Amino acid sequence: MTTSDQLSPGSREWLLAFADDEHMIGSRHAAWIGLGPFLEEDLAFCSIAQDELGHAIRLYEFITDEVDRFALLREPAEYRSAWLTELPCDHWDQALTRHWLYDQAEQLRWGALSRSSDDGLQALVARAEREEAFHRQHAELFLSRIAAGGEEGRARIRSALEFLLPYAVAIWEPVAGESEALSDGLITTGSDSLAQQWEDSIKTSLEGWDLSTSWPQPISGQDNRHARTPEFPALLASLQEVITIDSAAIW
């Protein structure tokens, strides 16, 4: 298993972006526990959030030996999460649509790691892909039912797509040093190829659900994951509520 001091800067940056995305999307999903439209959905989102946070922990372990402090006590500018994962998505139609858009992308990102030169990463991918199959099934089933249920539901999803797609497209902006991660053998497929696969898959599903929409440009100003959304400071503060009681404690 590769240790943090063996990672090249480009490979570290690629893993960090993925880990931070898993951390933030898991945390945003967890905020819906107790607030979902019905009990079964509360339980489903709880399970999905737990999985994503578990994936974040395992990815952070390739980067640092102090996972809790690293995950929670960095400065905002040190995070590399995509804006899509940081958004609150306070309405259920937005939360569900983001869940679907993100997990479709996540499948491809795990796939890019599946033939990694690192045996430890290959083992993590095998576990994560089993869990992600449930996540995608959950999102696709729910969205397909809404799409088949009438124009009101489709209108809500269309509105959520109009808002979220520019953020989702931006998730594929290459991280700094992606070419190095490719040459290292950490990943086997670059962002451009993954983005096209993702776009084709999303468009096919939307067409089948009668939810086709115009394809947007990525949201501007993301600065290759170095800038944070206006909502990020409040999100980070909420994540730090426990650890900052005693930042020197071993949790």
Which ranges of the chain does DSSP label H, i.e. alpha helix? Answer: 9-30, 39-60, 67-72, 83-86, 92-113, 119-148, 151-169, 178-184, 191-208, 232-239
Considering only CA atoms, which of 181, 147, 164, 200 is closest in space to residue 82? 164
pLDDT tens, residue by residue, 71-118: 999 999 999 999 999 999 999 999 999 999 999 999 999 999 999 988
Judge if pTM exceeds 0.75. Answer: yes
The position carrying tokens 């994936």 is 55
In the numeric block, the tokens 């030169």 are attached to 117
Per-residue model confidence as pLDDT tens digits over 184-217 = 999 999 999 999 999 999 999 999 999 999 999 9
How many CA atoms, within 13 angstroms, populate the side-chain half-sphere of residue 137?
A: 7
Domains annotated on the chain, with CATH: 4-245 (1.20.1260.10)
Task: Name which of 235, 242, 247, 170 is nearest 30 in CA terms.
Answer: 235
